[in-house]
Each structure stands twice: as structure tokens, then as C-alpha cells.
């Protein structure tokens, strides 16, 4: 089994598990962005948003809500970021769908991964239409 998250789910790779249910498991990320940074993964292997069934994604999101509440409460974090990368160009490094739950203690404890560029709402009409009609 080459997927590290599949090995964690199977119990053959050590982890510090903080949540388990029928559909998902959450464990502390070895690369802690902030104290309590956790990963929530489905028990079944799905590469990314393009592969994961909507029902499975909903189960993972429910688990992420529970994990977020747990780490915020246990660690006293006043905020949390929920983050996902889907695809190599989006910085996905482990190709098993997962959500990052990152407790936030200060507004400056992390740097945003992108720079936002403000656009007038009218200038986004063509882009919105292209997305709406795609099937």
C-alpha cells in the first residue's frame, strides 16, 4: 500500500489519531503549521475533489467540523482555517483527499497562500456565466 493515508487508516502507519468514525479519520499533521494542525481523510481512497463522491465528501466535512470544534476547544484557539488542495498545481502533495484543520492563535501566525486582487462585480459577469453553463 503506497498511500501513507491509506496506511494510517489501515493502522499500519503510526499516527496521533484525534477522531475516528465510520467514514473518516483525523490525525495530527506531522508538519504542524500551528499547534494542533490536523488532517481529516476519508477511510476510502479518493485522489481529489474530482474523484471523491459527494456523499463521502459530506462525511469528511462533518468530521472536519467536529475536529475543528475539538481542537479549538482543547487548545483555546480563537479561530481555525479549513484548507484543501486538489491537484498538484493547487499544492496537493498527498494524493488522497484530505482537509487541513489549522487552529489559529494570532492573525499573523500564518501567511496567506495567495494575494487577492479586487475586481468590480460587473467585470466578473462573463466568468460567472462560463462557470454557470459548464456541464
pLDDT in tens, 55-101: 999 999 999 999 999 999 999 999 999 999 998 988 889 999 999 99
- Give the span between the Cα atoms of 10 and 131, in whole angstroms: 39
- Give the span between the Cα atoms of 26 and 96, in whole angstroms: 13
131 has a pLDDT exceeding 90: no
Q: Which CATH architecture has domain 4-133?
A: 2-Layer Sandwich (3.30)
53 has a pLDDT exceeding 90: yes
Q: What is the pLDDT of residue 18?
A: 97
Q: What is the pLDDT of residue 81?
A: 96
pTM of the model: 0.90
Q: CA angle, corner 3, sides to 24 and 84, nearest 5?
A: 55
Average predicted confidence (pLDDT) for the chain: 94
Amino acid at each position: 500500500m503506497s498511500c501513507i493515508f491509506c496506511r494510517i487508516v489501515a493502522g499500519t502507519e503510526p499516527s496521533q489519531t484525534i477522531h475516528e468514525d465510520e467514514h473518516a479519520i483525523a490525525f495530527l499533521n506531522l508538519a504542524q503549521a500551528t499547534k494542533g494542525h490536523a488532517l481529516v481523510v476519508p477511510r476510502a481512497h479518493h485522489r481529489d475533489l474530482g474523484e471523491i463522491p459527494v456523499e463521502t465528501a459530506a462525511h469528511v466535512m462533518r468530521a472536519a467540523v467536529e475536529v475543528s470544534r475539538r481542537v479549538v476547544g482543547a487548545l483555546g484557539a480563537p479561530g481555525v482555517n479549513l484548507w484543501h488542495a486538489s491537484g498538484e498545481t493547487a499544492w496537493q502533495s498527498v494524493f488522497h483527499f484530505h482537509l487541513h484543520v489549522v487552529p489559529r492563535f494570532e492573525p499573523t501566525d500564518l501567511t496567506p497562500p495567495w494575494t487577492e486582487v479586487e475586481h468590480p462585480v460587473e467585470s466578473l459577469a462573463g466568468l460567472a456565466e462560463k462557470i454557470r453553463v459548464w456541464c
